[in-house]
Structure 1
Amino acid sequence: MVLADLGRKIRNAIGKLGQATIINEDELNAMLKEVCMALIEADVHIRLVKQLQDNVRKAMNFEEMTGGVNKRRVIQRAVFNELLKLVDPHVEEFKPKKGKPNVIMFVGLQGSGKTTTCTKMAYYYQRKGWKTCLICADTFRAGAFDQLKQNATKARIPFYGSYSEIDPVKIAYEGVEKFKKEGFEIVIVDTSGRHKQEASLFEEMLQVSNAVQPDNVVFVMDASIGQACEAQAKAFSQTVDVGSVIITKLDSHAKGGGALSAVAVTKSPVIFIGTGEHIDDFEIFKPKSFVQKLLGMGDIEGLVDMVKDIGIEDSVELANRLKHGQFTLRDMYEQFQNIMKMGPLSQIMVRLERLLN
């Protein structure tokens, strides 16, 4: 599970309240101290940690609580609500519209996994029945077009780019126009990785944005860079209108809190998280489910979504046949096909474990 160490420390801190004979302000302060230390160690910004601490204290009024109130549960709910505020800016996320071109432009630091993430998103929508494509407007990094070409070919996704043209604005514009004419619904534009100190690259990013007029600008954020995420996120959001965030490498780094706290700067919702190197290691980010898993509360909603992906909810006819003891080899084959759509069996088991733990 992503940020497993952080989740374990927070659960342990709250769990100690259950061992206390009397839950009072001293016990609350001791618990909050452990929770805050865990968040700081995960690189969540100190300002946001202090805010969380103050808000939980305000939510708890021991003098007004009656004897029958489960104080541990009230504290857990207060911590849950504050962690939710940390990852949910309460901004409606961009939803692509079927039957029309949706231009999605990717921006981010070099090395954040942007090109790989472009392919993952294109593949995700392709599996959902959308007509998707990729455009490489990264002329700054050597081998960028080769990487996108290789990824797209493997996933059987149409792509556009150039070995000879050095103007990313022209490549992006021509690619978008080409795929619009061909009726593509998800048009993803991969741009050069850049740093907030590189003014020329930021100007280039703005020019590409003006040329293709994206419906959504996605900022790809690397969880491993810690609190530096916040300054970078601010620089990008001040240049282009960042509408969504994707966090990568959350599976392999304990300092993912820096990326989560940077969400507050962009005021843009996290839409996906990258949980591995494979094309299937890509999950929809749901703030409530994320915090529930972090606190060990389980994730029923995620489990329902997983069932929907398999297609079990549509198998009313199959359920009726099973009731009457009728199950053919054809039925077995169809169920195996549904499961294989979700990827290798080992990955399905990992996803199931994340949802239940």
Structure 2
Amino acid sequence: MVLADLGKRITGAVSGLVRSDVVDDKALDNMLKEICAALLEADVNVKLVQSLRKSIKHTVSASPPGPQRKRLIQSSVFNELVALVDPQTDNLFKPKKGRSNIIMFVGLQGSGKTTTCTKLARWYQARGFKSCLVCADTFRAGAFDQLKQNATKAKIPYYGSYTETDPVRVSKEGVDKFRKEKFEIIIVDTSGRHRQEEELFREMVQIHEAVKPDQTIMVLDSSIGQAAEAQSRAFKESANFGAIVLTKTDGSAQGGGAISAVAATKTPIVFLGTGEHLLDLEKFDPKRFVARLLGMGDVQGLVEHVQSLKLDQKDAMKHISEGVFTVRDLRDQLGNIMKMGPLSKMAGMIPGLSQMTQGMDDEEGSNKLKRMVYICDSMNDRELDSDGKCFVNQPTRMTRIARGSGTSVREVEDVLTQHRMMAGMAKNIAKMKKAGAGLPGMGGGPGQKAQLAAMQRKMAAMGMGGAGGPGGAGAAGTGMPGMRDMDMGGIMNALGGMGGGAGPGAGGLDMQGVMRQFGSMMGGMGGGGGGGRGGRR
């Protein structure tokens, strides 16, 4: 995540002060010194840093020492960081259905503008808008080919020209064409340009006048540091953009320069580009961003992310309601977890997990999941559709599968142990359902029925196929747990509770359970590297 190191340093400074017995002015000054140093190293503008320091000190100094002061310090740091990235503008663009909404993109060369255009078109398309793309970049060789390739992959209509060199004409023709065809989101991709290139800036103004966009978005590379402020001011004066998309936030340590740009132009960040894939685009919310920055998590973002995957879980949900959970169901759940993205992305959304997974390699975690999938893929159809007892009756099957998947017998045993745990949970759910339907006078009345129905709705909405499992007491603050098995059931249970309702953590999410299960996932299975995929027998 962008500014991850900054978040760790700020969190460490605040936590150190909160843990201390005495919170006097000297301790407060030391904390502010550490926070300001971290912000300056992240390329945040020095004037903004001075203003943040002054605001926090003014807020806290008036309060008397004690527990109340500690809470005030925490809230003040959070609020001031939110203020850095929130220009507090109410006139955010909201596209309307049934009419053409034109969005024009501007920005520097190499900022990821063309890729972001496709990501945004796909983002709107997934929400029911009829989206399309217009390539008005006739300056860069291969620009139209890049947009064409991205649009084809995302199944989004596009317009451009290999022969026409006038970007104003291309953009006008493309917009007019899609307007006639009743497209609702028309995104115009323009050439990358620098503030010192006056001719290209005039061209940008001409395109703006020709297509009359409803919104102009500047794409800003989060890694350019302090140069972001000067560039954004120049674009603001010429194109008067109304929003910013911050790209390459998955690897930048100098995102403070982009924050400075937000403050300088009083323009909101609307999206974050978090990777190279078309799905790696997140809607920006200042409070949720700062919460993730400080390791407080983003439960809402996690729910939205999982729901956007649209996982097909009808068969698994049917099996679980009947008290059945096959090895194939386990394999499907492993695939769904892999679709959720790298651990580093998930860690930022789950409170406390980012601190627990410091130093962990996404590739290592991904390899461990893949090895579990390889094991399942080396089973034949009879084994996959079984309840796992055939492996107990014929242990030689495990040896064959280990050889075929390039793993060890111990790893095969771990996968089968995991399956038994989840199969047991499925049987418990079926018993609960039966008790709720047939024993109204013995704890199975309307209240239990409603609770069971709510749990199933949450699971269905999340696209996850499991429930039950341990809540995981005592995981937070104790480091990585020493469990050998990855408790898939616990992960399913924790994620299944995100829809709301009673339960520990925010919105019914079993936070400790999630942290424990992800922790055991990273430390669980032995063996390194990715196993080869064995053939089915």
Asked if TM exceeds 0.5, the reply is: yes
Question: Counterparts in 2 of 1:13-162, with a 5 A limit?
Answer: 13-62=13-62, 64-65=63-64, 67=66, 69-92=67-90, 93-162=92-161
The amino acid that maps onto 2:349 is: L
CA contact (8 A) 2:295 2:348 kept: no
- Aligned to 1:146, the other structure's residue is in SS state helix
The answer to whether 1:355 aligns with 2:353 is no
> Shift in Å at residue 346 of structure 1?
5.1
Q: Aligned partners of 1:349 and 1:98: how far apart in 2?
A: 36
1:217 aligns with: 216
Q: Say which is worse superposed, 111-120 or 91-100, in terms of deviation.
A: 91-100
- Gaps spanning 5+ residues in structure 2: where? 355-537
Q: Aligned partners of 1:311 and 1:74: how far apart in 2?
A: 41
What is the TM-score of this pair, normalised by structure 1? 0.89
**Structure 1 stretches of at least 4 aligned residues deviating more than 6 Å after TM superposition:** 318-324, 331-337
Q: Aligned partners of 1:26 and 1:74: how far apart in 2?
A: 16
Q: How many residues align?
A: 350
Q: Aligned partners of 1:285 and 1:55: how far apart in 2?
A: 24
2:170 aligns with: 171
The amino acid that maps onto 1:57 is: K
Q: Aligned partners of 1:91 and 1:321: how far apart in 2?
A: 49
CA contact (8 A) 2:135 2:160 kept: yes
The amino acid that maps onto 2:280 is: D
Q: Aligned partners of 1:186 and 1:142: how far apart in 2?
A: 26
CA contact (8 A) 1:242 1:266 kept: no
> Shift in Å at residue 334 of structure 1?
11
Going by fraction, where is strand more abundant, 1 or 2? 1
1:294 aligns with: 293
Percent identity over paired residues: 53
> Shift in Å at residue 102 of structure 1?
0.7
**Over residues 37-57 of structure 1, what are the superposed CA-to-partner deviations in whole Å (9 max), with x where a residue is unaligned?**
101111011010111000001
Relative distance call for 1:254 and 1:349 in structure 2 (3 A) is closer
**Over residues 303-352 of structure 1, what are the superposed CA-to-partner deviations in whole Å (9 max), with x where a residue is unaligned?**
3433543569xx9xx99996785999xx9999999x69xxx625175543
Q: Aligned partners of 1:206 and 1:80: how far apart in 2?
A: 39
> Shift in Å at residue 20 of structure 1?
2.0
> Shift in Å at residue 61 of structure 1?
2.6
> Shift in Å at residue 244 of structure 1?
0.8
Q: CA RMSD in A?
A: 2.8
Question: Counterparts in 2 of 1:174-185, with a 5 A limit?
Answer: 174-185=173-184
- Aligned to 1:273, the other structure's residue is in SS state strand
1:202 aligns with: 201
> Shift in Å at residue 87 of structure 1?
0.4
Question: Counterparts in 2 of 1:262-273, with a 5 A limit?
Answer: 262-273=261-272
The amino acid that maps onto 2:348 is: R
The amino acid that maps onto 1:20 is: S
The answer to whether 1:12 aligns with 2:12 is yes
The amino acid that maps onto 2:16 is: K
Query: Which of 1 and 2 has greater Rg?
Result: 2
> Shift in Å at residue 183 of structure 1?
1.1
- Gaps spanning 5+ residues in structure 1: where? none
